[in-house]
Amino acid sequence: MAQIPADENARFDAIIIGAGFAGMYMLHKLRGMGLTARVYETADNVGGTWYWNRYPGARCDAESLAYSFSFDEELEQDWNWTERYATQPEILKYAEHVADRFDLRRDIRFERRVDTAHYDESNNRWRVTTEQGDSASAQFLITAIGCLSVPALPDIEGLDDFKGHRYQASLWPHEGVDFSGQRVGIIGTGSSAIQAIPVIAEQADHLTVFQRTPNYSVPAQNFPLDQNWVDAFKKNYRGHRYNQKHGLNSGFGDLKTEIAETVPLAEVGDDLSDAEIEAGLEERWERGGAYFMNVVSDSMMSERTNARFVAFVHKKIRETVNDPETAEWLCPTSHPIGTRRICVDIGYYETYNRDNVTLRNLRKTPIERITERGVLLSDGEVEIDTLVLATGFDAMTGPFFNIDIRGKNAQPLKEKWVEGPRAYLGLMAAGFPNMFMITGPGSPSVLSNMLVSIEQHVDFIADCLTRAARENATKIEANLDSENWWVSHVNDVANDTLYPRGGSWYLGANIKGKPRVFMPYAAGVGAYREICDHIAAQDWRGFEFSA
Ligand code: NA7
């Protein structure tokens, strides 16, 4: 395919970085408003996270009928999901379908990595360059760069010494990997690994899991979707969408059940007897999904309630895993349940009953280094042919810091955010006029169904631009006091929950030297939407419009 020539001093109304779901919908929306836009995308196709994360077993942990666009009723009626939780290939196919259906590709430049984005005060425009030589400017800059798009390599000595095959979950080869006849080792036991482990175990000769911190996982209870049920569901798609957008479940939720049955059993766990809470947890476990946490409303607020959830999951692990020592090692004890992203699995704990799977507990026998032949633990070397790294991401701020973004007075965003991200509503940083962030830090983002949050942000940004155009304002900037208020509100909300005790990437705790700041907004998409709508209704309080 002939390479499209680089843009040379091209001018647009808006430049969007990233062609995942956020970038695609933003482009579609801007076009509908009669604005010109260019999208730059590093990959050679659309899909964002679903383009890169092709590891075996990759699938969404929000239900497919909810993890899809709602902005076009014909699209939502036409597209048919095949399983309760869609696989990565199916979601990628959906993303490609959206790109083709709305003819998005003609404004997207693929295989272009934005390296600089500088605000020019003299003409109120953002100048953007790519590593591939594009140069362009636009009045508005919109980042659609994802929250988990910068893979983190583990800080382990000798990684490059390994002579076998090495793969990273989030940069998986497009042609796939055949593990048959292989001794495979996997480092990491987060969501990615918990999805990949059962699938790799079925293929590999032997799989060794190197676990530092066990995670809580609940069964997906995945199933193929029944067409009659889907047809009935789609008749009331608007009602379901309303619930996703306004509900407490942040866009997750058990779609098979009517909303009345999915409300928590009680506001506080203390109001329920052990038998009552057990019955509720058992029922949610059987239904499957991350929605498990909402049996009681205070599961993320009360240590006592949370501990009852923990005891339940520990019991499930011990009942499932035959070897008692392996079962104990798999029981998380270092953090309350839900304070790290709860994993949704298909046969994860059961996999440890296979003869060809071994769990190594790195808390007892830490990794000393990677060798030519495998992984050297404190009690000896484990020889492997293939090493899989499922070691996570430099979450939320990492994607911003990968680009040299400068606002007024040439201030780098990296400098403004040196002690943690600061943005009004997680959407706009003071000192960075006309730059909007879709699902940025300080918004519900990773604590929500991303499609629900993306649509809300894109619509909000579009309304904000419309407000500016109506009043002939060319410059929109977040007010610093409003930003400070929002950042402290985000912190207050987080501090009222158990989240900060998770020590996870939500807090930046997985990256050396990163400030420990709880980044997502933890009050849910319903509360967040209400605040945004209220702010818009008060003539965009906290946003300053000028000519
Ligand atoms: P996560 O959830 O950040 O998991 C990364 C895992 O890698 C986690 O178990 C880490 O253990 C482990 N890790 C990282 N560095 C090391 C070293 N040096 N040694 C041993 N183990 C290590 O990333 P995922 O990709 O699984 O999931 C990210 C999100 O993607 C997920 O929540 C979904 O939203 C989609 P640790 O906990 O640090 O001890």
Residue 505 CA: nearest ligand 1 atom is 3
In a domain, 452, yes or no: yes
Which residues, at least 6 apart from 72, have a Cβ–Cβ distance to it below 8 Å?
A: none
Write down the pLDDT at residue 256: 64
In a domain, 416, yes or no: yes
Centre of ligand 1 to C-alpha 504, Å, is 9
CB of 366 within 6 A of ligand 1: the answer is: no
Centre of ligand 1 to C-alpha 369, Å, is 18
The structure's pTM equals 0.97
Distance CA 262, CA 254 (A): 7
CATH code for position 453: 3.50.50.60
Centre of ligand 1 to C-alpha 385, Å, is 22
Centre of ligand 1 to C-alpha 38, Å, is 34
In a domain, 252, yes or no: no
In a domain, 241, yes or no: no
CB of 392 within 6 A of ligand 1: the answer is: yes
Q: How many CA atoms does the CB half-sphere of 228 hold within 13 Å?
A: 0
Write down the pLDDT at residue 259: 42
Q: What is the DSSP string of 71-139?
A: S-HHHHHH----BSS-BHHHHHHHHHHHHHHTT-GGGEE-S--EEEEEEETTTTEEEEEETTS-EEEEE
Tokens representing 281? 């947890």
In a domain, 383, yes or no: no
Centre of ligand 1 to C-alpha 338, Å, is 15
Number of domains the chain contains: 1
Centre of ligand 1 to C-alpha 522, Å, is 21
CB of 168 within 6 A of ligand 1: the answer is: no
In a domain, 443, yes or no: yes
Q: 470 lies in which domain range?
A: 8-46+104-150+394-475+524-541
Tokens representing 266? 């009680």
In a domain, 128, yes or no: yes
Write down the pLDDT at residue 260: 39
Write down the pLDDT at residue 266: 87
Distance CA 409, CA 431 (A): 8
CB of 155 within 6 A of ligand 1: the answer is: yes
Mapped to the 3 state alphabet, what secondary structure does 243-281 carry?
Answer: HHHHCCCCCCCCCCCCHHHHCCCECCHHHCCHHHHHHHH
Residue 509 CA: nearest ligand 1 atom is 38
Residue 156 CA: nearest ligand 1 atom is 18
Where is 209: in which H helix or E strand? strand 206-211
Which residues, at least 6 apart from 404, have a Cβ–Cβ distance to it below 8 Å?
A: 115, 116, 117, 118, 412
CB of 192 within 6 A of ligand 1: the answer is: yes
Residue 343 CA: nearest ligand 1 atom is 32
Residue 122: other Cβ atoms inside 10 A: 5
Per-residue pLDDT of the chain (547 residues; tens, 9 = 90+): 557 899 999 999 999 999 999 999 999 999 999 999 999 999 999 999 999 999 999 999 999 999 999 999 999 999 999 999 999 999 999 999 999 999 999 999 999 999 999 999 999 999 999 999 999 999 999 999 999 999 999 999 999 999 999 999 999 999 999 999 999 999 999 999 999 999 999 999 999 999 999 999 999 999 999 999 999 999 999 988 988 898 766 666 666 654 434 678 889 999 999 999 999 999 999 988 887 888 899 999 999 999 999 999 999 999 999 999 999 999 999 999 999 999 999 999 999 999 999 999 999 999 999 999 999 999 999 999 999 999 999 999 999 999 999 999 999 999 999 999 999 999 999 999 999 999 999 999 999 999 999 999 999 999 999 999 999 999 999 999 999 999 999 999 999 999 999 989 999 999 999 999 999 999 999 999 999 999 999 999 999 999 9
In a domain, 509, yes or no: no
Write down the pLDDT at residue 382: 98
Q: Which residues of 299-312 are buried (b: 16+ CB within 10 A; e: fewer)?
A: bbebeebbebbbbb
Give yes or no for a contact between 286 and 316, defined as CB atoms under 8 angstroms apart. no
**Which amino acid, one-letter code, is at 26?**
M
Give yes or no for a contact between 42 and 112, defined as CB atoms under 8 angstroms apart. yes
Short-list 216, 228, 215, 280, CA closest to 254? 280
Q: What angle do CA 325, 327, 330 make, to 5 degrees?
A: 110
